[in-house]
Amino acid sequence: MAEKITPRSVDYSQWYIDIVLNAKLADYSPVKGCMVVRPRGYAIWERIQAAYDKRFKETGHQNCYFPMLIPMSFLQKEKDHVKGFKPELAVVTHGGGEELDEPLCVRPTSETIIWSMYKNWIQSYRDLPLLYNQWCSVLRWEKRTRLFLRTAEFLWQEGHTAHETEQDAVEETMRMLDVYREVAEQVLCLPVIAGRKSESEKFAGAVATYCIEAMMQDKKALQAGTSHFLGQNFGKAFDVQFQTREGKLDYAWATSWGVSTRLIGAVIMTHSDDKGLVLPPELAPEQAVIVPIYKTETKAAVLAYCEKLLGELKTAGVRAILDGDESKSPGWKFAEHEMNGVPLRIEIGPRDMEAGKAMVARRDTGEKAPLEVAGLPAKAVELLAAIQKNLYEKAKAFRIENTKPVASREELLAFYGKDQGEEAGTAVATGGFAEGRWCGDGTCEAALKAETKVTIRCLPLDRQEGVGGNCCLCGKPAKHLAVFARNY
């Protein structure tokens, strides 16, 4: 199977697609731009969901469900919102065999339908905050799609909260950004930069958008999650007024925040290699696979030995499987489980058995060593933790290595070189993350994007204090430190 994977050095885009298809994570569907998430991809999504959902609940949020169809007139109530989403809508014009009085769109995001309900549920400050979240799919008509990274329909969660004060809403926005960061780092092994978006990149309808940005192996940035402070924009658009503690009327303050199946794409692109998928053990549907190696006369003994170890691994909390398929050779199985990203492979033949040992291979480093079977379950738990840590550290080192401070336009252009086109098979990508001072003027940003496709990914939250000096693009006094990159 492994030969089906195009090496990264030949064509990075094709390498990615080869992994998604060959590891059976997702497939193209007959509906243009929509994907099928196959069981191995969905199992990863379930683990991502569980990690986030647990933290959403710990921070006081409740799940609920709002209709997938939204009246077109709702979209139009917030002027920036409709401008941003209208070009991407799928529109239902007929239902039950009749033309509808008003067309409905399939939700591209749910602020409007949710705030139309909040109007009924919020009368007093006593009704606040509302801390709601829903897991669902959304639809945004996209011309150019790529499995997991950009599809017309994708799975996500969207948190929508309503608050009494601006400060409460701002704190919520930052709290959820931090939840996103924490799970990305600890569970998905994605080192991310938490920052604020520039005006041109913010969510349609937001006052401010915050994000976590990760670097892929081709040195491009990928936005992995966003948290929006919506001010009173939707409160006003849907007339959600409440009685304050002081007995006055005020509009409710809002946030919204989302992560999607795009995170699966980020995990693949960050950790995988030319042999296939590499998965953080926390996300891996199977964490260890035992591959028995035997001849007819040793079969029964080796299999019994493997079964015993399998039971012990499970007891130790390891998601382990035994690959007893007799129609496949051990070598074929090695390649298959490498393709699928199983973090640990345990090979056991008659000689290993006699010596009370097993050959254990790590998917992340390829290291292989004979280990005592007696202590193997405890050792496997340790190794899985080591792999989890290593994947994060490796990705972080890669990002640091490919991040460069730039002081001038010339330095910035030299760093990125000529744009090779988003879809081109770039043997060696140029650039990475450039860190430079920025005046805050959108025209500087737009000119750079038009020329190079390099954009401001974010203004990192922990780097804004005492920014002095001049804009690396125009030379005027700088207001922010910005992270520049080409992006997905």
Chain positions contacting a second copy, by CB under 8 A: 27, 29-31, 34-39, 41-43, 45-46, 62-71, 74, 86-97, 103-104, 106, 113, 116-117, 120, 126, 132, 136-137, 139, 141-143, 152-153, 155, 327
Q: What is the 3-state secondary structure (H, E, C) of 427-453?
A: CCCCCCEEEEEECCCHHHHHHHHHHHC
Is residue 156 a contact partner of residue 48, using CB atoms and an 8 Å limit? no
Q: Residue 361 burial (CB < 10 Å; 0-12/13-18/19+)?
A: buried
Of the pair 39, 405, the CB lying nearest a second copy is at: 39
- Identify the three-state secondary structure at position 21: helix
Q: How far is the CB of 4 from a second copy (least distance, A)?
A: 16
Residue 373 sits at the vertex; the CA angle it makes with 369 and 375, to the nearest 5 degrees, is 100
C-alpha to C-alpha distances, 21 to 36, 40, 189, 240, nearest whole angstrom: 11, 11, 22, 46
Of the pair 21, 359, the CB lying nearest a second copy is at: 21
Q: How far is the CB of 69 from a second copy (least distance, A)?
A: 5
d(CA 266, CA 263): 5
Is residue 19 a contact partner of residue 5, using CB atoms and an 8 Å limit? yes
Nearest to 77 by CA among 118, 36, 38: 118
Q: How far is the CB of 313 from a second copy (least distance, A)?
A: 19
Q: How far is the CB of 76 from a second copy (least distance, A)?
A: 14
Q: Which residue has the tokens 């003027």?
A: 441
Of the pair 44, 456, the CB lying nearest a second copy is at: 44
Is residue 310 a contact partner of residue 287, using CB atoms and an 8 Å limit? no
Q: How far is the CB of 240 from a second copy (least distance, A)?
A: 14
Q: Which residue has the tokens 């056991």?
A: 348
Of the pair 113, 212, the CB lying nearest a second copy is at: 113
Q: How far is the CB of 276 from a second copy (least distance, A)?
A: 19
Backbone φ, ψ for residue 253 (5° rounding): -95, 145
Nearest to 41 by CA among 222, 212, 268, 259: 268
Q: How far is the CB of 54 from a second copy (least distance, A)?
A: 13
Q: How far is the CB of 404 from a second copy (least distance, A)?
A: 38
Of the pair 31, 407, the CB lying nearest a second copy is at: 31
Of the pair 71, 440, the CB lying nearest a second copy is at: 71
d(CA 248, CA 124): 10
39-58 and 262-271 helices cross at what angle (nearest 10)? 110
Of the pair 53, 411, the CB lying nearest a second copy is at: 53
As a whole number of Å, the end-to-end CA separation of the chain is: 28
Of the pair 154, 392, the CB lying nearest a second copy is at: 154
